[in-house]
Every structure is written in C-alpha cells, then in structure tokens.
Amino acid sequence: MQAQMPRIVEDQERGSFLVPRKAFTSREVFEREYAAIFDSCWLYLGHASELAEPGAFLTRTVARRPILFTRNRDGEYHALLNACPHRGALVCRERHGKSPAFMCMYHGWTFGSDGHLMSLPGSSGYPDGFKTDPQKQMVHVPRLERFGDFFFVNFSRQGEDLATYLAGAGDMLKLVSEHSASGMQIVGGTQEYSMRGNWKLLSENSYDGYHAACNHSTYLDYLKNTNDALGGTPLEGVMLDLGNGHAAVEYTAPWGRPIANWVPLWGEEGKAEIAGVYAELQQRLGPDRADRIAHKNRNMVIFPNLVINDIMAVTVRTFFPTAPDYMEINAWALAPREESEWRRKYRLYNFTEFLGPGGFATPDDVEAIEKCQQGYAVGGEALYNDISKGMHRAEGPAFDDEAQMRAFWREWDRRVAAHSELAEA
C-alpha cells in the first residue's frame, strides 16, 4: 500500500498556509511529481531566435528526456526525441549547429530534420518498406506549440492547448516580446549550473520579494556605494495571480533597465538614447503599455519551472530535478534585436553581475536553497514550512508577500493529489 501523499494545509480564517517538508525530501513524491506535473504540463523548450535559419538545430534535455529541436529547410520546427529507433543511441551529439540530416554514430542510420529515416547501411538486409515503417522513424514529442517566439513541449497528448494553459502568463510573455519592434533574441550562450536542493525551492525563490533585503544585502550595498548606479525610484509593487499556478511580482526599483529606465551612471549620452527608446515604445504601444515596460520590473514563474526575470536584464531560466535534493538549471539572456552596442553592453553586464551563477544574486540564492534542504534533515516535529505572509492584508498582497508562492503550491497540490487518486483507484 502506498503512503499517503503530503498535502498543503490552508486555513483562510486563521491566515495560515503550511507546506509539508516531506514534499521536498521524499523520493515517492519526486516520482509522483514527474508523472503528475512534468509528464503532462507544457514545458519550455527554446526560443525561435535560437533556430534563426532553416537547417538550424539544438539539443536540450527536458524532463529527463533528450530532445532534438530542429528547423527544416521549409522553416518548419520539429521537436524529436533524440534516440535512434534502431538501438537507442543519441542521434545528435552536438549542442547546436546547422545540418539538414543527422547520422547515428553507432550504425549509420541517417535521419532528416523532421525525423524521417533517409538512409541506412546494408539496406538490402531489410525487407521492402522497412525504411518507411513508422516505427523506424525518430519519434516526435507528442505536442510542440509556440506562443510568439517561445516554444513549449508537452509529453502528454491530453489536456489544454498552450495558450489556454498559459492563461494570464501569456500577456506577460507578450509584454517581454514587446520590448522590441523587430523581435527579441537569445544572446550569448547558456549558463548552466546546479543546486543541491529541491526544485520547488527555486520556483519559490524566483519571485520571492521578501528575501531580497536580507539575502541580497551585499548587492544593494554595492549599488548604493557605486556612484550614480541608482535612481530615486522606490522598491514597491504588487503580486499578480496569472492562473493555472502561474504568478508574478511586478514592482518599481531604483536600478537601471536598458529597455528605457535611465540612471545617472549612464551619463547624458545614455539619457538621450534611453529617451529615444522610450519615445518609440510610446508611439508603438501607447503611454500605459510603454510606461509598464520601461519602468516596472517583473519576476514571473510559469508553472512548473519556467522563470522570466524582466528586471535589470531579461533572463529566461528553466530547472529540472534529477533527485528530490538536486536540480540542474539553464539560463539565457534575452534582448532586442536592434539594441545598440552601448545598451547591449549594460544589459549583459547586468545579466552576469546580478543574475548569473557568478553574480551577486545567484550564489546567495544557491546558498539559501541548499541550507533549506539541509535543514529539512531535522525531521521530528518540524514538519511544515510557513508561507502565510500577506494572507490577511486588506489592500491585497504586496510584492514582498507570499501569495505568488501560494498560487504555485495550490496548483502543485491539485495536480499531485489528482494523480495520486488515479494511481490508487
């Protein structure tokens, strides 16, 4: 008989929201999460700019599965399970590149960018029709859809389409895309690192406004002591529940944003350029939308594991667990195609200085998450985490409350509980 799955404990009247620590440590919960969440939710695969030309490809691991993401000569996109149907070897071993075909290194079976079997050595040893047998082709991921230039995969054929799944998060993705009239692009390479902590801790951390003043005090002090690195804008904002477990915090902040939020450090020449960018945003999108893009910051988590940090730079980040206490993270910088060399320099500097694995923020967050995971070893009576901050705030949750985490945990609880009921029926 399977052990009962841990559940959140929510009491609206008392303003209490408790998350069982077993959800961070149990191997059974971990495997149930993969079945209930990672095998049925829409998961981020990549950005269209990463396959800028027909024939381009990249390989990526998504939810423990190796994926070959391609664009054929007609410009069509394909997401293939990167395993040869012959004996299972990886068909493509390169990280990215450009090629119309892929040959398995083991026996030389060769596949087109849409996964069809083009040729195989010793074909006379196989019966007629072997090469066109559907079981001899590379397998497509059950569902591949795009929202703007963001591509997602789903390993289940059941469930809602991508736009429905994204709900209010779709407009937030659109907002990021509207930074540029000509389109956004991934710049630079992939930042790869890992943490010895449960993946849900990083979901929480990614839009946790409560920890910044304490955990990132070094960065804030650094900015204060760097002449003219800060403007006069206060740090304040709101939480946005975007539906289906997605949520964001949106807030003003004193740091510069290359999209259109100038700080004195950038000088008068920079001020003139930023003013021009802002004028273009206003003309193209209207004053309200332009003001939101230029002067508001956003930290968003698209359930379960896609983070968009639209702050002093724009970061796209995913993370996948390989064990209850270990995860692997990938992050990319996103920027307007037409951005000047000056703005690109500051954007990438901000990206690496604060958000990168060697920057001010990420090492702090890694340390905090790993210390949480270590703390769960106390066991005993310490069975729950408290995520109640702001539940009784009359004017609605602020950006440094924990309502965004509660949105995540309700969806987690719903999905895991529903799958557990099916499994135990």
How much is the pLDDT for 1? 39
- Which residue in 323, 99, 134, 312 sits closest to 222, CA to CA? 312
- Which residues share a beta bridge with 20? 384
User: Whole-angstrom Cα distance, residue 324 to residue 343?
Assistant: 40
Condensed to tens digits (0 to 9), the pLDDT of residues 278-306 reads: 999 999 999 999 999 999 999 999 999 99
Written as one string, the DSSP assignment of 350-369 is: HIIIIISTTSSHHHHHHHHH
In the block, residue with structure tokens 């000047």:
340
* DSSP E strand stretches across 27-125: 43-47, 56-62, 65-71, 77-81, 96-98, 101-103, 110-112, 117-119
Residue 236: half-sphere exposure toward Cβ, Cα within 13 Å: 3
CB 102 within 8 A of CB 110: yes
Written as one string, the DSSP assignment of 238-269 is: EEEEEETTEEEEEEE-SB-BTTTB--GGGHHH
Element (H, E) at 92: none
How much is the pLDDT for 423? 66
Give the amino acid at 210: Y
Share of the chain above pLDDT 90, in %: 77
Condensed to tens digits (0 to 9), the pLDDT of residues 85-131 reads: 999 999 999 999 999 999 999 999 999 999 999 999 999 899 999 99
In the block, residue with structure tokens 């990021």:
176
Domains of the chain: residue spans and CATH: 43-147 (2.102.10.10), 169-416 (3.90.380.10)
Rg (CA), the chain: 23
Please name the residues in contact with 148: beta carbons below 8 A apart, sequence gap of 6 or more: 173, 174, 177
Burial of 377 (0-12, 13-18, 19+ CB in 10 A): exposed
Q: Across residues 329-343, what is the average pLDDT?
A: 94
CB 154 within 8 A of CB 40: yes
Task: Take residue 377 and report the two structure tokens written for it.
Answer: 């070893």
Share of the chain above pLDDT 70, in %: 96
Task: Take residue 228 and report the two structure tokens written for it.
Answer: 């003219």
CB 325 within 8 A of CB 333: no
Lowest mean pLDDT among 14-23, 258-267, 349-358, 402-411: 349-358
Give 217's pLDDT tier (boundaries 50, 70, 90).
low
- Which residue in 240, 208, 242, 247 sits closest to 396, CA to CA? 240
End-to-end CA distance of the chain: 12
Chain centroid to Cα 164, Å, comes to 18
Instruction: State yes or no: pLDDT of 229 exceeds 70.
Output: no
Instruction: State yes or no: pLDDT of 227 exceeds 90.
Output: no
pTM: 0.95
- Which residues share a beta bridge with 60? 67
Q: Across residues 1-16, what is the average pLDDT?
A: 84
User: Whole-angstrom Cα distance, residue 86 to residue 109?
Assistant: 8
Give the amino acid at 410: R
Condensed to tens digits (0 to 9), the pLDDT of residues 37-80 reads: 999 999 999 999 999 999 999 999 999 999 999 999 999 999 99
SS3 16: strand
Please name the residues in contact with 44: beta carbons below 8 A apart, sequence gap of 6 or more: 150, 151, 152, 302, 305, 306, 316, 318
The total of other beta-carbon atoms located within 10 Å of residue 323's CB is 11
293 versus 261: which is more confidently predicted? Answer: 293
Task: Take residue 13 and report the two structure tokens written for it.
Answer: 């009247």
Quickly list H helices, 20-86: 22-25, 27-33
